[in-house]
Chain A
Amino acid sequence: GENVEQHPSTLSVQEGDSAVIKCTYSDSASNYFPWYKQELGKGPQLIIDIRSNVGEKKDQRIAVTLNKTAKHFSLHITETQPEDSAVYFCAATKAAGNKLTFGGGTRVLVKP
């Protein structure tokens, strides 16, 4: 089955700096890669996703890049703000299967 590894497990950045989280996946058939933000005591919130026919996607301060050959994808947050502090999860799935395989999560702390 699919295996997703996520790094780093914790990330501390100064407000205004950029944050980058990287994930690798094992199943070359995976073709949908979402990123979720989870705040304490809440459910995960979809913040951005990318499909395998696209190499990069951007939404304001958030961007995701995908390298299918290397089987890794990354989340980039620019101009970080204290409200970006949360746990971020990457995930991967195949279109037909629909089951998401999650990475281990990255705890991001943005220091004011």
Chain B
Amino acid sequence: GAVVSQHPSWVICKSGTSVKIECRSLDFQATTMFWYRQFPKQSLMLMATSNEGSKATYEQGVEKDKFLINHASLTLSTLTVTSAHPEDSSFYICSARISGRYGEQFFGPGTRLTVL
């Protein structure tokens, strides 16, 4: 149980294009999902908290117009990197919290984004 998937697992795009990453909770409902970014050999950096049916809450320093988050259902959240540039290349990981249970977060397998 508590499986989170991400799609795609990796993507290569040209500078200036937009990329959408999907995060799905496969066997549970997730009122809240989280998006993280991870650089090589570093810890996870929280980008935003995504709540179903409402606007995402972004961490300080994260551009909300660049990283668009949509949490349209209890099992799906999407992160769109708009007008991607090489500095956006990173490992993006989502996590989901089981509705009604605090604390526990289950992570997806991550998406490797490379912007050329």
Contact = CB atoms under 8 A, between A and B. Distances in A.
B107 to A, nearest CB: 4
Given A44-B44, A89-B43, A96 B102 contact: yes
B1 to A, nearest CB: 12
B25 interface: no
Contacts of B8: none
A71 interface: no
Contacts of A42: 109-110
A105 B43 contact: yes
Contacts of A45: 107
Nearest to A95: B102
Chain B interface helix/strand/loop/mixed: strand
A20 interface: no
Interface string A32-56: 1010100001111110010100000
B105 A34 contact: yes
Interface of B: 4, 6, 32, 34, 42-44, 46, 49, 93, 95, 97, 102-110, 112
13 contacts: A34-B105, A41-B112, A42-B110, A43-B107, A46-B104, A46-B105, A89-B43, A95-B102, A96-B102, A98-B102, A98-B105, A100-B34, A103-B43
